[in-house]
Amino acid sequence: MRNLLAVVILIIMLITGCSSNPEEPDNGKNSNTQNHNKNFSVTKKESDNNLSFIIKSGFEVDDKQSFWINLESYGQVKFVSGWNFNDPIRILKFYLIDKEENIIYRFSDLLDQTPWDFYGIRAISFKDANADGLKDIIIIAEYLTGAGPTGATPFPVAGIYFQNKKDFARVPELEEEINNSGKNESIELILDFIKSYNAKENQKNNLNKPLNSPDLTQQELLGLLNLKKEAILSKLGDQYSVIPTGAEGSYDGYYYKNHGITIVFENTDEIAFIECDKKVVISGAHAGMKFSQIKEKLGEAPVVESWYGTPENKVYEIKYKRENYTLNFFSFSSDGNKSELTIVNNYGGNR
C-alpha cells in the first residue's frame, strides 16, 4: 500500500512539473507563439507594396542610383532605381518608398514596348524643370539594341517625370524631341531644351487665346505674324471693317480701330504687312515720332529717300530689320515729322 501511494505522489509531481508557470513572461520559447509571429511578419513584409517583396520577386536595386529626397508632394522619400530581368533583356524600373520600405509610387517604364536591353543609368537629377515650384525627376539611361554593327554600343535615352500634387506626368512629345535631337547627352542640355520647349508652348497657347484687351502688347502683335488669316480673325474678333489701304488704296485692309492696326493679307492668307497708329508701341517707338526720336529708341539707322505709290510721291524711310519682320517708318518730311509705321512680314508679301 505504501509503495502504491508513493507511485501516485510521484506521478502527480511529474505532471505538475511539466506545466508552465503562468506568471513567467513569454520569452519567445513558446514555439506556437514564435511561429505565429514569424508568419505574421512575413505576410506583412512581403506585401507586393513593399520593397522586400519585389526584391524577392527578382527586382535588382541599383544602390548607387537610389537616393533619399524631399519631394514637395510626398515629403522625405527614397527614389529607388533598379531593374527586372525579362529574358533576354533587363527592364529599368523606378519606385518611391517610405522609411518602412513601403512602395508609395510606381513610375511608368522609361521605355514602353521597346525591346532594348537596359545597360545602365548615366544620370539622375531632381530639378524644377518647368518652374512650377515642384522638383521633377530627369533621367538619362543607356540602352543596347543588340542588333547590327552598333548593337553592343550603349546610347542614351532621356525621360522626365514632372511632379504634380498627386502623381508624376510625362510629356511624350517633349521626350521624343529631346531624344531625336540628340539633346539627351547631359542634364544641362535637357534642362535647356525643356526651357525652350516650354517657352514655345506658352507662346503658342498665348497666340491661340482671344485678345480681350484693346491694347495689344508687343509680343501679342508680333505673334500675329506667325498665324494664318483664319486664326487671326478668330483671335482678334469680328470688330473690324474692311477698308482700302496702301498706296492708292490698292489693298483690302482689315482695320481694327480698338487695336490701332490695319492688317493686309497676301494670297496665301499670311500677313503681308500691318499698318499701325500711335497706339502701337514697339520698343518705345511709335508712329508720329520724328526720325531722331525713333533712333533714340531703336538705335541708329540710315534715312533713305524713296517714293510712295508713284515716283512723284517722294517719301523718306528708316527701317529696322529683325529676324521675321521689318519696322518701316516713313514720312513725307525728311526729318520724319508725322511718321507712319508699317510692320512688314519678312516671310510674307512685300508692300
* Average per-residue pLDDT for the chain: 83
Task: Give the residue carrying C-alpha cell 543609368.
Answer: 121
Query: Of 15-19, 40-44, 51-55, 235-239, which has the strongest mean pLDDT?
Result: 51-55
Residue 93 CB burial class (10 angstroms; 0-12, 13-18, ≥19): buried
Q: How confident is the model at residue 349 (pLDDT cuts 50, 70, 90)?
A: very low
H/E stretch holding 234: helix 229-236
pLDDT digits (tens, 9 = 90+) for 47-77: 679 999 999 999 999 999 999 999 999 999 9
* Partners of residue 263 on adjacent β-strands: 254, 274
Q: What is the mean pLDDT of residues 284-296?
A: 95
* pLDDT tens profile 298-314: 999 999 999 888 888 89
CA-based radius of gyration for the chain:
38
Contacts of 136 (CB under 8 A, 6+ apart): 126, 127, 128, 129, 130, 160, 161, 162, 163, 168
Mean pLDDT of 173-190: 96
> Across residues 122-150, what is the average pLDDT?
92
Judged by average pLDDT, the poorest of 119-123, 224-228, 287-291, 339-343 is: 224-228
Say if residue 350's pLDDT is above 80: no
Find the helix packing angle between 187-208 and 229-236, rounded to 10°: 70
Dihedrals φ, ψ of 332, to 5°? -85, 0
- Tell if the pTM clears 0.85, that is, is over it: no
Q: Return the pLDDT at 253.
A: 94
Q: How far is CA 147 from the centre of its chain?
A: 33
Cα distance between the two ends of the chain? 139
Domain limits, the chain: 51-206, 218-345
Which pLDDT tens digit goes with each residue over 229-251? 988 988 888 889 999 998 778 88
Query: How far apart, in whole angstroms, are the C-alpha atoms of residue 133 and residue 261?
Result: 39
Contact predicate 223/206, CB 8 Å: yes
Which of 294, 288, 260 is closest to 274 using CA atoms?
A: 260
Task: Tell me phi and psi for residue 35, to 5 degrees.
Answer: -65, -40
CA 226 – CA 271 distance, rounded (Å): 8
Question: In Å, what is the CA distance from 15 to each residue of 8, 10, 226?
Answer: 11, 9, 99
pLDDT bucket at 33, cuts 50 / 70 / 90: very low
Helix pair angle (172-181, 187-208), 10° resolution: 130
> Hey, what CATH topology would domain 218-345 get?
Pathogenesis-related Protein p14a (3.40.33)
Share of the chain above pLDDT 70, in %: 81
Say how many C-beta atoms besides its own lie within 10 A of residue 207's C-beta: 17
* Strands, E assignment, 259-309: 261-265, 271-276, 303-308
Amino acid 166: pLDDT: 84
Give, in order, the Cα–Cα distances in Å from 165 to each of 68, 135, 171. Answer: 19, 11, 16
Cis preceding-peptide flag for 88 (omega within 30 of 0) = yes
Instruction: Name the band, by pLDDT with cuts 50, 70 and 90, for residue 211.
Output: low
Q: Give the confidence band of 214 by pLDDT, cuts at 50, 70, 90.
A: low
Q: How far apart are CA 164 and CA 154, in angstroms?
A: 32
**What is the predicted pLDDT for the residue at 22?**
34
